[in-house]
Amino acid sequence: MQAEPKKSLVGLEFEVEIGPVAHGGHCIARTDDGQVLFVRHTLPGERVVARVTEGEEGARFLRADAVSVLEPSKDRIEAPCPYAGPGRCGGCDWQHAKPGAQRRLKGEVVAEQLKRLAGLTPEEAGWDGTVMPAEGDKLPAGEVPAWRTRVQYAVDADGNAGLRRHRSHEVEPIEHCMIAAPGVSELGIEDRDWSGMASVEAIAATGSQDRMVILEPRPGARLPLVELDRPVSVMRVEEHDGGIHRVHGRAFVRERADGRTHRVGSGGFWQVHPQAADTLVKAVMQGLLPRKGEMALDLYCGVGLFAGALADRLGDKGAVLGIESGKRAVEDARHNLADFDRVRIEQGKVEAVLPRTG
């Protein structure tokens, strides 16, 4: 006999006290009868009315939004973005928190992940749990850093570009994304009619003037005529295989980090914060303290950011082996590291390539 479907609890409201932060912009709370809630748009220590957005009777946990704040945290501010809030854009998790509180909460999430997944305290991991602001985020109070160098816009049925709502395919049309880097905003994606497109990704490289737009058409749709007042590469996501193919301009952008220029192909991975690549290289090198003549492995090496940084520091007698499964990324890494004689990039899965390298 077929079991009866469980009753949906979506829309049910609970008055709860908010506990610790969790991954994905949530905080944990419990109802009076012990039901676990993962609540967004709130902060630890607040008392709120939480409205269930996902879940059914008997579920291990429910997802919810804080729709009314009864006792606010001292870290709460008015979200500067007009599209932030329950049921709105899902792009930013902590716009309702002061910048210092945002960093503290993110640090707590990382510390919890280290403990739960790796069995390490921050001290054992060599980290005191503090998250410092990136150099580009040191702005006057009240200003929002425009840092995101890659933004993927969803397109609604009317051709409006926007961002998806949290855990939803619904599109929140926007006029401007506050955290988009100037090079992205200058492309004017939100001002154009993208009828026939499913998504539009805008990329503004760090350290070069390279700009790229990646268009994903809906089935059977033709690409729109894109007129821009600056050089921009245009790429297309193919319907039949999901591959990204060149329509106009270069098939890559040039990103600058650690004193080197890195070619990153369309669809390739690069950090979206302009200071992130340099910051990560500095942190990794401080942790490793590489010495001349040593050998190093860069697993999941992407386009070779860390492999290049290691090769620079290991010198002519050192050696670096990078392993990466993505064909396009391997091509970029080999191009980016062609000036190093003792760097080798192998394509394949780490678990398959590493055992045969000796």
Q: List the chain domain ranges.
A: 99-132, 150-253, 290-357
The one-letter code for the residue type at 4 is E
For the whole prediction, is pTM greater than 0.85? yes
The one-letter code for the residue type at 122 is P
Tokens at 75, concatenated: 């870290």
- The whole-number pLDDT of residue 3 equals 67
Ramachandran assignment for 337, one of left (phi > 0), alpha (psi -120 to 50 degrees), beta (any other):
alpha
- The whole-number pLDDT of residue 13 equals 98
- The whole-number pLDDT of residue 122 equals 76
Q: What is the CATH number of domain 150-253?
A: 2.40.50.1070
- The whole-number pLDDT of residue 357 equals 81
Pairing between β-strand 150-155 and β-strand 61-71 as defined by DSSP bridges: unpaired
CATH 3.40.50.1110 assigned to domain 290-357? The reply is: no
- The whole-number pLDDT of residue 358 equals 65
Q: From first to last of its 358 residues, what are the pLDDT tens digits of the chain?
A: 566 788 999 999 999 999 999 999 999 999 999 999 999 999 999 999 999 999 999 999 999 999 999 999 999 999 999 999 999 999 999 999 998 899 899 989 988 888 888 888 877 877 777 777 665 555 545 566 899 999 999 999 999 999 999 999 999 999 999 999 999 999 999 999 999 999 999 999 999 999 999 999 999 999 988 777 789 999 999 987 888 999 999 999 999 999 999 999 998 999 999 999 999 999 999 999 999 999 999 999 999 999 999 999 999 999 999 999 999 999 999 999 999 999 999 999 999 999 988 6
Question: Which residues lie below 8 Å from residue 73, measured CB to CB, with a gap of 6+?
Answer: 43, 44, 45, 46, 97, 101
Closest CA to 175 of 188, 166, 186: 188
Same fold, 150-253 and 290-357: no
- The whole-number pLDDT of residue 5 equals 80
